[in-house]
């Protein structure tokens, strides 16, 4: 469960960093890729969490 909460917090932090700093396009692309990776791990953590519950 704590992994899911950490994933959500990190998504919020990354999106906050992306939209509140005027970074170069390269770092924006890296940030977007990081957000996508976090979202993918969030889904896998949710799947694992539901498998453990059932």
pLDDT, one tens digit for every residue, the chain (54 residues): 677 788 888 878 877 777 776 666 677 777 778 878 888 888 888 888 888 777
Of 5, 17, 15, 19, nearest in space to 35 by CA: 15
Q: Which residues contact 14 (CB under 8 A, 6 or more apart)?
A: 31, 34, 35, 38
Q: What is the pLDDT of residue 51?
A: 83
Q: What is the pLDDT of residue 52?
A: 78
Q: What is the pLDDT of residue 3?
A: 77
Q: What is the pLDDT of residue 36?
A: 84
Residue 50 to residue 40: CA distance in whole angstroms? 16
Give the global pTM: 0.56
User: What is the span of the domain harbouring residue 14?
Assistant: 2-53
| Tokens 């694992």 belong to residue | 48
| Tokens 């899911």 belong to residue | 4
């Amino acid at each position: 469960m704590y992994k899911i909460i950490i994933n959500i917090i990190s998504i919020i932090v990354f999106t906050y960093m992306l939209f509140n700093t005027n970074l170069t396009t390269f770092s924006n692309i890296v940030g977007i890729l990081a957000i996508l990776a976090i979202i993918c791990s969030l889904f896998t953590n949710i799947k694992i969490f539901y498998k453990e519950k059932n």
